[in-house]
Amino acid sequence: MNNKTEQIIFLEPVMKEVLWGGTRLRDDFHYEIPSDHTGECWAVSAHDHGDCAVASGAFKGNTLSELWKNHRELFGNLEGDRFPLLIKIIDAKQDLSIQVHPDDAYAKVNENGSFGKTECWYILDCDSDATIVVGHNAKDKEEVAQMIHEGRWNEFIRTIPIKKGDFFQINPGTVHAIKGGTLILETQQNSDITYRVYDYDRLTDGKPRELHIEKSIDVIKAPFDVDSASSKRELVKGDSIDNEALVSCSYYTVVKQDVHGSAKLTQDKNFKIYSVIDGEGSIDGVDIKKGTHFILPYGYGEYTLEGNMSLICSY
């Protein structure tokens, strides 16, 4: 590494064991995982429940939350009490519960000043018959409450087929669930507030998990607006890099980049987060491969991505 590449913030992911998890974080990404039920890799996180350590370079020995606290200049002196984004890779071997997140305004009042949560999913891989839950089929709020109270889940839940490369924006108030056989890269607001609507009547240690029915009904938007979950993807092909804008909202912009050759780019944002999702190559001569996650800090300037690889970039 040289003076410049020392500034790249490479992060050590934090693995999470969960009942619905599997082994693909080891099988596909070669991470060390704690058990055969590992469901989440917190790849870029400054959250209390999983604070990523810096793996190398000038900031080795710090966690991302420490950099946010003590070196805010790395992030363009952005305001806020926490690093704003959280990137996860999710291996859902089994179905996750059906849930919904509040927006900032609702969370502020009802969750002690917390933030709401907007998130988005890039489907890294999935079984050929995989599906996902995005939205519901009730015509208005009254029918939402009715269907939920009466447990008419098959009618209520909007399940759709998915394939590798699909992308979904999950705005607050959107009923959603990742279903089994799906590997996802999730970009989200750094928040934990989740209301569980339905858990398929499953038992954990003999007991059902807690549901948050009334809060869910409060925040679920009705009717579901299909357009709110899809974004206009725009692909711009180039000689050495293809750029595809996946979504841009008030919390993040997410872009997919396919590098085939040597591409010169500029870091002109407060920060740029990168996750290599396929292939291998280098950033300014430093080797990176599928499963590498890093942040280019404020003022990094020009950089070169080289190789044959796909990356998800957010800022």
- Phi/psi for 74 (5° steps) reads -65, -20
Cα–Cα distance between 143 and 169 in angstroms, integer? 24
Helix (H, G, I), strand (E, B) or coil at 75: helix
Q: Is 196 a residue of the active site?
A: yes
Cα–Cα distance between 157 and 246 in angstroms, integer? 25
Cα–Cα distance between 298 and 310 in angstroms, integer? 23
| Half-sphere CA count of 90, side-chain side, radius 13 A | 26
299: left (phi over 0), alpha (psi -120 to 50) or beta: left
Helix (H, G, I), strand (E, B) or coil at 196: strand
Could you tell me if 38 and 27 are in contact, meaning their C-beta atoms sit under 8 angstroms apart? no
The residue from 24, 72, 82, 196 that is catalytic is 196
Could you give the residue numbers annotated as active site?
A: 196
